[in-house]
Structure 1
Amino acid sequence: MSSIKGKIKTTLKQSQGKARDLARSATESVEGNLERLLNKRITLGVTGFSGSGKTTLITSLIHQLQHFSEAQLAAFPPAIQERLLGVQMSSLNGLPLFPYQQGIEALTKGGWPEATRQESGCVLEIKYLARPGLLKRRKPEIGRLLLELRDYPGEWLLDLPMLEMDYQTWSRQCFSLLDDGIRKSLASELIAKLHEIDPLQPIASATLQCIWQTYVTYLQQCQQAGFSMIQPGRWLHLTPEETEQTLPFIPLPALHSLSAEQIASAPDDALVKVCERHYQNYQKNSIKPFYRHTFQKVDRQLVLIDAVRTLSSGQPVFDDLRYALAQALQSFDYGHNGFLTRLISPKIDRVVFAATKIDQVLSDQHEAIRSLTANLVQDAKRRATFNAIDMRCEAVAAVRSSTCVEYQGRQALQGITNDGPGMLLHPEIPEKLPEPDDWEAMKSWKLRRLLPPQGMQLTAGGRLPHIRLDSILNDLLGDRF
């Protein structure tokens, strides 16, 4: 009897806890919506493909704001006008707190923050002195802006274009990418296995699992080769538990030769039918929740592009990045946030495209990188201009890790690399999409990976050097102060 009473008490406590969590969540939702309506809360989306430096940039951005009195923020008026009063960080709607402290500790020790493996977030409460109106007050009013930041793996961004494709369309796209070049050589084993199976015939689960593992290995090799257009992106870093729970699907080469009637009349356990069901399940249970609960809530967007690394990787990787950006940016919802749309269906009303890790090229080449970035996102730029959206391009470094020196009669960059202190040399950077001569000039370019500066005392609030993060802050948030 006592054990039954104990179970009842435990169940009641759990129910009460869930009820408190629901009530707290509902209260936070109501408060957040009211703040959004009053222009006191804004959600900033910081996104970019894997390797673009997103986690490091968010870490640096938080540090610059929290330690604004020591930071170099000359292009951010609230800081230079000494109107910032303080910045505090808190958790966001039950998400794990963004690992800011771990990132700062990593940078202090001379390493980079770990790449994002799960979704996290935070709210920065920024207090500031508001500008006086036409009738100057005796005592300045204290303003308050709540800045939401959400961090998620860059691989998730790669999956957004799949929402607009059915399984057959996605499968045809995969094989169009495999047509020639580096991808075709990487996929030789996969292609051989795919041509051995009949999509209209039943397939054993173990056989499908084996081919799927070959496909996942191919995706990982594509990422290692520098490619961006990789789908599904979430499969790049599956844990053993996630691997067991994944419903596998693979692209099939023969679909283009099959009629709709042939596919429809195939048995339910035919390979094409199984893959189609699993593909739809992935859309429903992985991509749509992320788009609805995270991506679609963004008011303003910062898109990070590792243009320098992509340029140094050669034309196939560069062209692949252009294609991936064009696909992913179609998911962005541009428009003005009026009084009600801020609450019901927020739209992106300001976007900044930023070329990252700009400290890997000389300062007189920064403008060329910025111009090249604008060319990379031409389609998004046209749609933003059509909707009268404020769109800008910038070149930044979340952590400045190099200095300019004289080397063998020319300007060069010096920094700490994986091999110790060293020089970084690079060819002339094209201002527009590279021509054949440009690719020939960049053929021998070997980009060296920089490490953060040594000796930074960031855990004690020390200065974190950067390039143009203050311009980014002003572009995205300046009007709210």
Structure 2
Amino acid sequence: MLTWLQSGLRNTAHDASARTDALLHETTLRLAVTGLSRAGKTVFVTSLITNLLALGRGFDTLPRLHQRLAGQAAGSGAPSRLRSVRLVPPGSSETPLFDHACNLATLTAVEPNWPPRTDDLTETAIELVLDREGTFWKHLGPERLRLEILDYPGEWLLDLPMLNQSFQAWSRETLARLREAPRSLACAAFLEQLPTVEPGARVEHERLRRLHGLYRDGLHACQNEYGLRLLQPGRFLCPGPRADAPFMWFFPLDEVPDHPLRGTTAALLEERFEAYKADMRARFFETHFARFDRQILLVDVLGALHSGRDAFLDTEQALALIAGCLTYKQDWGSLWSRQSAIERVAFVATKADHVPHNHRTNLCHLLRDLVEGAREPVGKQPVSFHTAASVLSTTDTTIEVDGIARDVVRGTPLGSGTAKLFDPGIVPAGRPPKDFWSRRRFVLPVFEPPRMEAGGLKGIPHLGTDEVLTTILSDKL
């Protein structure tokens, strides 16, 4: 009994000491990274971690961050306040670990390639040990900045409006969009079968599941063939865990009665719709989203621009929904017991290495125009706009066409083995005029990653990642 008591007292003292140490010396920030399909979340997080670790080894992989940590005298070779950087070993979290080692190995292989996309929430933590600023604070010793980085699909944010909708309202709104081109083309098989479904008829389980499959396939076609982004539910595209659970087997229905009878098709689909919303609240919005401190939102603006007017306008509408839930501390009433803790948001136009240097300012202005035109002002909350390439895969060059110099980029298209010139054309500084869409469109190439040292010990060449990180963390550095 005495031994047990002594052990308990030692554990209590140890816990109290650890809490005091964390209070005095440690700051924890939950940094969320998201983006719609093909925006490059996995590569961004891999590059960010790799370059932070390399910075801790003394390589100047993140110049803006190094300058911030060295103070005003950075240009004269002032020492950085950064002492070390390390990946924090995983604890007992239920959230899957972001596989940095595997993703980095893919990028730095003899034949480098892009790591596979993720369709679930993942997390990792990285710790920066910093010398304190100020004579008084230096006596306390170094401080630790712990970044808990969470990577999650941006498609899940598009489910946020659904949480306040009834199945009837969601079905009406969704089908109205679905019956307009190009969605009507992508979802033709589903729309053809939908009139055969009787809302008040008894449930035919296998038939309803086939209809769900047609609806889900239609959403994938909207995304892959037409570049559309405003697609609900988001987990039909990026399912995460329990992808084949029965509550996922629903679809929008015509003429949903106000109070469908139990045992009917409408009642079952409504029940699954409500169960899906409850699962999203419990597994993501309440447990993760409400606890984010900082948010980086990656946007493939170039991809939307080159996919045509329909895809561009659809991306704008999707951004309107996402920007609204990221840039407000909302009172969600019965949906959440607390407000969002998001303090800073950085919007980033990715794949900036696909355009030459003098077009990147326009790309940033275009992103700002899309986001600010899609939402109301956010008051004092810091919101920033950037362009970035997580892995720099091109070089800028100039060619002459009919005696006129044109800025282009040079890169190696994936699988070709041969470097080629790429002219992205004009990047507008705001919403394109109508005549812009009548011009020739082309597919945005996927360039091979550059050859890098195995293991990425000296970092990954990038464009603008250091500016994004320094801006989002500036008040904590």
Band of TM-score, shorter chain: 0.7 to 0.9
CA-based RMSD: 2.9
CA distance in 1, matches of 2:341, 2:205: 43
In structure 1, the partner of 2:420 is 422
Contact 1:88/1:126 (CA < 8 Å) preserved in 2?
A: yes
Q: Are 2:59 and 1:74 aligned? A: no
371-380 vs 123-132, which deviates more? 371-380
The residue correspondences of 1:365-380 to structure 2 (distance < 5 A) are 365-378=359-372
> What's the offset of the Cα at 1:433?
0.9
Secondary structure of the corresponding residue to residue 409 of structure 2 = strand
Secondary structure of the corresponding residue to residue 352 of structure 1 = strand
CA distance 1:310–1:285, shift in 2 (3 Å): same
Secondary structure of the corresponding residue to residue 429 of structure 1 = coil
CA distance 1:171–1:413, shift in 2 (3 Å): same
Identical amino acids, percent of aligned pairs? 28
In structure 2, the partner of 1:250 is 251
Letter in 2 for 1:126: L
CA distance in 1, matches of 2:241, 2:369: 40
CA distance 1:468–1:178, shift in 2 (3 Å): same
Contact 1:396/1:469 (CA < 8 Å) preserved in 2?
A: yes
CA distance in 1, matches of 2:157, 2:384: 21
430-439 vs 64-73, which deviates more? 64-73
> What's the offset of the Cα at 1:238?
5.3
Could you tell me the TM-score, scaled by structure 1's length? 0.84
In structure 2, the partner of 1:48 is 35
List gaps (5 residues or longer) in structure 1: 1-22, 256-261, 337-343
> What's the offset of the Cα at 1:277?
0.5
CA distance in 2, matches of 1:219, 1:33: 51
In structure 2, the partner of 1:167 is 167
> What's the offset of the Cα at 1:100?
0.7
Q: Are 2:403 and 1:407 aligned? A: no
CA distance 1:136–1:92, shift in 2 (3 Å): closer
The partner residue of 1:269 within 257, 263, 286 is: 263
> What's the offset of the Cα at 1:39?
7.2
Could you tell me the TM-score, scaled by structure 2's length? 0.84
List gaps (5 residues or longer) in structure 2: 1-10, 331-337
Q: Are 2:446 and 1:449 aligned? A: yes
In structure 2, the partner of 1:205 is 205
> What do residues 431-467 of structure 1 show as CA deviations (whole Å, max 9, x unaligned)?
11111122223x323311112112x014050231111
Q: Are 2:476 and 1:480 aligned? A: yes
In structure 1, the partner of 2:455 is 459
> What's the offset of the Cα at 1:127?
0.3
CA distance 1:321–1:288, shift in 2 (3 Å): farther
CA distance 1:282–1:140, shift in 2 (3 Å): closer
The residue correspondences of 1:26-105 to structure 2 (distance < 5 A) are 40-68=27-55, 69-76=58-65, 77-78=68-69, 81-90=79-88, 91=90, 94=93, 95-105=95-105
Secondary structure of the corresponding residue to residue 270 of structure 2 = helix
> What's the offset of the Cα at 1:31?
7.1
In structure 2, the partner of 1:6 is none
Contact 1:306/1:357 (CA < 8 Å) preserved in 2?
A: yes
In structure 1, the partner of 2:382 is 390
> What's the offset of the Cα at 1:181?
1.5
Contact 1:356/1:396 (CA < 8 Å) preserved in 2?
A: yes
Letter in 1 for 2:159: D
Letter in 2 for 1:326: A
In structure 1, the partner of 2:335 is none
Contact 1:121/1:148 (CA < 8 Å) preserved in 2?
A: yes
Letter in 1 for 2:274: Q
CA distance 1:31–1:111, shift in 2 (3 Å): farther
Letter in 2 for 1:44: L
